[in-house]
């Protein structure tokens, strides 16, 4: 009887682990295919989405990394640097309201938004949001 219960528990653990891995593989493939199909994608006059990358993690599902480049003149760069908190809030609000990202949020994926200067390649800012932030 104990052997049967142990087998059932092992089976359940294996099924849950394999489903988790399959979901992570799906997210990884989906991000890669989105990037290949739609990126670079002009978001507005200064912002271009360069790529999406899903990074699997051992201790949790993983991170969805969103890479953007900004084409800024000196004045726009100064305004942006003075308002980085507003950019963080805008990203968080968009994340909370996103229907497209629902399946990622349901799996408690973490999101990282990385902005680079389109001219120099220099990282301007990075925001990381956990489920505690967006739920």
Structural domains in the chain plus CATH codes: 2-134 (3.30.300.250)
* Tokens standing for residue 119: 């001219």
What pLDDT was estimated at residue 20?
A: 56
Task: Give the HSE-up count for residue 85: Cα atoms under 13 Å, Cβ half-sphere.
Answer: 1
What pLDDT was estimated at residue 21?
A: 60
Q: How far is it, in rounded angstroms, from Cα 93 to Cα 59?
A: 26
Helix (H) or strand (E) holding 49: strand 47-56
Q: How far is it, in rounded angstroms, from Cα 135 to Cα 117?
A: 30
pTM summary value: 0.81
What pLDDT was estimated at residue 59?
A: 87
């Amino acid at each position: 009887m104990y052997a049967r219960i142990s087998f059932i528990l092992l089976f359940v653990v294996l099924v849950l682990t394999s489903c988790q891995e399959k979901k992570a593989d799906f997210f990884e493939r989906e991000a890669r295919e989105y990037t290949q199909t739609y990126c670079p994608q002009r978001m507005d006059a200064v912002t271009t989405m360069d790529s999406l990358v899903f990074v699997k993690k051992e201790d949790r599902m993983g991170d969805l990394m969103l890479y953007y480049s900004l084409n800024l003149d000196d004045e726009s760069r100064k305004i942006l640097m003075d308002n980085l908190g507003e950019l963080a809030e805008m990203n968080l609000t968009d994340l909370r309201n996103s229907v497209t990202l629902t399946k990622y949020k349901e799996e408690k994926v973490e999101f990282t938004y990385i902005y680079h200067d389109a001219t120099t390649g220099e990282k301007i800012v990075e925001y990381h949001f956990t489920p505690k932030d967006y739920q």
